[in-house]
Structure 1
Amino acid sequence: MTEAATHPIRVLLADDETMIRHGVRLILRHAEGIEVVAEAPDGRQAVDLAAAHHPDVVLLDIRMPVRDGLAAIAPLLALDPAPRVVMLTTFGDEENVVRALREGAAGFLLKDEGPQELIRAVRAAAAGDAVLSPGVTGAVIGRMLRGADPDPADGSGEDARIARLTAREREVLAMLGEGLSNQDIAVRLGIGTGTVKTHVGAILDKTGTASRVQAALLAHRTGLAG
């Protein structure tokens, strides 16, 4: 029996648009191993409901009344256990997405993504992957680069950090820069997802990056990802 069958991924959905919540709930309701445990129309209720229902993943709209999604990230991540927070966004909102990533969000998903992309994002977030919607990843990375994101590593140069990686790890790092999930990388390289996770862990360790998002930034700064 799979883990998903014994422990469904618990999702909390926070969006002030009723139709968005309804549509996402319908999609996730029919996804195996995923359960929507609560819905909230604003960030304050999202935090309260998360404390009560202990979701694994929170799908969080950025723009909401009472408390917006950005203000809800820190209190959500302060919960024990802390959920994985994925921001729901639209084209043109890259500045707020960058702020969300800096606050600790696991990634972002465009509201008009298809059903399979939504389901894949929830599963990826629950598995510890960063969720970076390919449609806007380039723009978000560009904003973070222009914002002079501080180098999280020690004083060694970025080229030296890349040189520590094996050829396969450099391939995986380039794909992180594209915003691909572990599953997508595994399919492209023809390897198992467990092997991808091992490579990602080695990349973070060898490059001194604290997250997949920081690793993606490194891939862009060093030219591994276009």
Structure 2
Amino acid sequence: MANLHQQQSFAVLGLGKFGMALTMALLQANQDVLVVDSNEEVINDVAHLVTHAVIADATDEDELRDLDIGSFDHVFVTLGENVEGSIITTMLAKKIGAPDVTTRANNHNHRLVLEKIGADHVVEPEQDMARQLIFRKLHPNIVNYFKLSKHVSLVEVSVKNPHFFNKSLGELDFRKNYDVNIIGIIHNGKLNQVPLAADVINPHDQITLIGSNEAVQKINEILQEEK
């Protein structure tokens, strides 16, 4: 199969409830996404939204190799309650050479097994939701927070620093100056999903940004400075 990926490419293996939510978050972040599921109906439902949608068995090594899974930057294994399948798929993805594999665990013991076989990052949705709730309580300026991978986060944050007010995205150049990308602006409750360089940040606006964990944390601290 032809190489499907580009720089910062994402593959989601399994389109259960969590896998679908993850896919939607990646699409909102304007990322290229390959989704894989053995259910034809599920694939047909999402095919028009994603970069590539493939009907395949994620526990089959030959099929994963055909998809060139090893060359994707980030692979998410989200096979729902299929514990055995998630373990097999994680092992195969690492064997094939995927550099960053994130797998959903159903419980603590499942997590331990996944970590032992080489998963780069393991998520337990209920536990992670609890941690995110505490995170938001400790950082009330952050409206939404989502960890896309071990190294990349997406956050929706309120802007309090007057330095950013009444300036365009082109002037502020977040990518050059802060190493993050702005993918949305919420002004007066209305979301601008495709902000342009000429769009201006106003007082009380919220912005959605994506970048490395370190870059996101740094710009968040700057945005909160009420000088």
Same fold (TM over 0.5): no
> Which has the larger Rg?
2
- The structure in which a higher percent of residues are strand is 2
- The structure in which a higher percent of residues are helix is 1
